[in-house]
Amino acid sequence: MTRAAFSTLGVPGMPLPEVLDLAVRTGYAGLELRCAGDGPVHTGLTSAGRRAVAAALDGAGVVPLCAASYVRVAAPGPDGPVVDALRAHLDLAADLGAAHVRVFPGADPADPDAERRAAARLTAVAGAARARGVAVAVETHDSHRAGRDLARLLDGVPGARALWDVLHGHRAGETPGRTHTALADRLAYVQVKDADPAGTPVALGAGTLPLDEVGRVLGAHGYDGWLCWEYEAAWHPGAAPLPALLAAGRTRMERLLGPPRP
C-alpha cells in the first residue's frame, strides 16, 4: 500500500507537536518538512533542537520523508554557497532521520551552463550524501518543470534523485505517462496536489489536475512508494485551511492506485 504524507507547507505557523497530532489523527504516516527560518525545522537548529524534533517524530510514529529546502542547484553565481547550503541540509536531514533533501533546479533559461553547474554541485556533495544516508531529490519545478528536462539535468549525477510534482509537469504540457517514463529509474517519491483554474490549492479531486491519470500510470507500474500532498497554503492565504481537508485527502490518495495487489 502506498504511504501517504503531507507537506508542512500546508500548515504554515503550526507548531510541530500540533502538526504531528494532526498527521496521526488523519492517518498520515509521513511528513515533508519545510525548512525555513519561520518554521520549526531549519538548518539553524541546535543539536539539542534537532534531537527534540527527531524524538517528537519518532514518538508520534511519523516518518520525516524529506527536508524540503529552497536550494536552487542550477542558479547563477558561485558554487561555494550552493554546495555549503546542500551540505547543511544534508546534515539536517540525517539528524532528523529524513531520507531526502528536496531542492529546486532554479536555472536561468538563458544560461547555457546551468545544467553543467547543477551537475557539478550535486556531484560535489554526492559523497557526503552517501555517507549520511540521504539523497538529494530535485523537484520538477521552475526551469525544469517537465520530466524530460529534469532527467537531462540529472543525467550522470551519482545518487541524485527526482521528485515528481504533478502540477509542474502538467503545466509544462507533459503527460503523466511521459513524466513517469523520464523519471521512473530515479524517482524518489511523488508530490500530489490539485488547483483551480486560477492556481489556488483545492481539495484533491476538486481541481483541474489529471490525478486519476497519474494514479493509473503509477498503478500500472506497481508504484508502492510515498505520495505526498503539497498543499501550498503558505503562498495562497485565501485557500481553504488544510486540516479540514486532510482525512478526505488521504482517502483520495489511497484510491489513486486502486486496491492493493495480491
pLDDT tens per residue, range 196-234: 999 999 999 999 999 999 999 999 999 999 999 999 999
Predicted confidence band at 24 (pLDDT cuts at 50, 70, 90)? very high
What are the pLDDT digits (tens) for 26-37? Answer: 999 999 999 999
Global confidence as pTM: 0.96
Residues 6+ apart with CB under 8 A from 112: none
Half-sphere exposure (Cβ direction) of 78: Cα atoms closer than 13 Å:
3
Asked if residue 262 has pLDDT above 50, the reply is no
Domains and CATH numbers, the chain: 3-256 (3.20.20.150)
* Mean pLDDT of the region 101-116: 96
* Mean pLDDT of the region 113-118: 97
**How long is the chain?**
262
Average pLDDT for the chain: 96
* Mean pLDDT of the region 160-189: 97
Predicted confidence band at 86 (pLDDT cuts at 50, 70, 90)? very high
Q: Give the span between the Cα atoms of 221 and 5, in whole angstroms.
A: 20
Half-sphere exposure (Cβ direction) of 185: Cα atoms closer than 13 Å:
10
Question: What is the share, in percent, of the chain residues with pLDDT greater than 70?
Answer: 98
Predicted confidence band at 259 (pLDDT cuts at 50, 70, 90)? low
Q: Can you read off the three cell numbers belonging to residue 71?
A: 536550494
**71 burial via Cβ count (<10 Å: 0-12, 13-18, 19+):** buried
Predicted confidence band at 2 (pLDDT cuts at 50, 70, 90)? low
What are the pLDDT digits (tens) for 61-79? Answer: 999 999 999 999 999 999 9
Longest dimension (CA), the chain: 52
What is the reported pLDDT for 257? 77
What are the pLDDT digits (tens) for 198-208? Answer: 999 999 999 99
